[in-house]
A = this chain, B = another copy of it.
Amino acid sequence: MPKVTDEHRTARRSQIVEAARRCVIAQGFHKTTMADVIKESGLSAGAVYSYFKSKEELVAAIADEALGSVDQVFRAILASAEPVTPVNALRTALEYVVTAAEGPEGDVTRVGVQAWAEALHNEAIYATASSKYALLRGYFVDVADRAKADGTIAADADSQQVAQVLFGLIPGFVLQRLILGDVTPAGYTAGLAALIR
């Protein structure tokens, strides 16, 4: 019984998180009520509360997912054998962002932006954001190191600083995409390439 129950529990949990995410994408964390999530998930109030003991916990779960989703892909792609220049790394990251944003789950980047705001006043989400972003930015340190190694950038450059910039370009892209709506991975990458040379 344990295994079946476990799968069942996992499926249920996902069902709730996905429903909640849909609500949050559509209305944001605060306009989304537990009643909305309950209705959207098709479960009962009691059921939802047996998986998440408060709205805060559920919100944290959604935020975690949204903030962390990039990670897996990053690891795979940036750790590949291909020549990973800063520009390529950025493009890959942005392309993933757009793919995720246009996926069938709805635009996860909207949840991400919500999470940024939430992190400022919510310990748990702050902690998640800090650690996930530190991790993510770490990949760009690798990228910077490689770039120094192959002479793409100066050997005495500070890889941390370069990583800050490369990583920092991503929120800027996400925000412009959502609020100004006129950026593309290709164009944005071209902009960076133009600056670099």
Contact = CB atoms under 8 A, between A and B. Distances in A.
Contacts of A29: 30, 117
B195 A121 contact: no
Interface string A68-79: 000000000000
Interface stretch (A9-17, A37-45, A97-105, A184-192): A184-192
Contact of A161 (B121, B179, B188, B196): B188
Given A30-B30, A194-B153, A176 B167 contact: yes
A66 interface: no
A172 B167 contact: yes
Nearest to A130: B179
Nearest to A119: B179
Looking at A161, A170, A180, A190, the one whose CB has the most chain B CB atoms below 10 A away is A161
Interface of A: 27-31, 86, 110, 113-114, 116-121, 126, 129-130, 133-134, 137, 153-154, 157-158, 160-173, 175-176, 178-180, 182-183, 187-188, 190-192, 194-197
